[in-house]
Structure 1
């Protein structure tokens, strides 16, 4: 009994439809993976994101132009304070509301400025932001004066006289 090696294989080799779809899917995955890897973006898991947030820098140094004149209280109010004080948002005393400002005006000007610089209630600390402490104090004087206070806008300190050698 002789067997022909060709007998065990039929001449009609067919690929089933499911095998064909599997081959197409694998080829598509390989092609998409190749092109997608060229545009790789870093994604973090929640744990990695938490670590990144914990080790971020906590401060920055800003250099300001000391010769630049301090802005008047009205300008600072419009740029920084009006967002809450114009409408009374988050419990802020509304601009020009004598009744809301009266208990605050009874305090010293320094205590009002201190509250603005360090923050009070829903108001975050204003110190260290875009405006200098003097400019924040001027805005406090402007707002309180519009509600019946008699605070004068603080003047910029005189430049220190240079010591003569």
Structure 2
């Protein structure tokens, strides 16, 4: 019995530390708070990052973004700029600056509090 209680406690710790599974209920309703970024997001990123069948990690889907974020922000930004797998170069956003790409990636990965 003591072993079962320890196992249950360890399982709870793992669940508490693991990324939340799955995307939010309505990822299409999410947008960056900044109006300019929201416009860029709607014009380029949203087409793939709210469609589950696109293969792109859905916006604010902690489970999908966690392994990507672990690669480092520089790798993610390189994938945006250079293109990666089905991700088109520049994320199809010709008017985006490097800071825009960083802010949009942070928004989609729900890492906006990072500096």
Cα RMSD, aligned residues only: 2.6
Q: Pick 1 or 2: higher relative contact order, CA cutoff 8 A, min separation 6.
A: 2
Matched positions, count:
81
Cα separation, 2, equivalents of 1:140 and 1:74: 12
Structure number having the greater helix percentage: 2
Structure 1's 73 and 110: CA in aligned 2 closer, same or farther, altered over 3 A?
Answer: farther
* Equivalent residue, structure 2, for 1:144: 109
Q: CA deviation at 1:131?
A: 1.7
1:97 aligns with 2:86: no
Unmatched runs of 5 consecutive residues or more in structure 2: 1-34
What TM-score do the two structures reach when normalised by structure 2? 0.58
What TM-score do the two structures reach when normalised by structure 1? 0.42
Contact 1:85 1:92 (8 Å CA) reproduced = yes
Contact 1:72 1:139 (8 Å CA) reproduced = no
Point out 4+ residue stretches in structure 1 off by more than 3 angstroms. 71-75, 149-153
Q: CA deviation at 1:89?
A: 4.0
Whose radius of gyration is greater, 1 or 2? Answer: 1
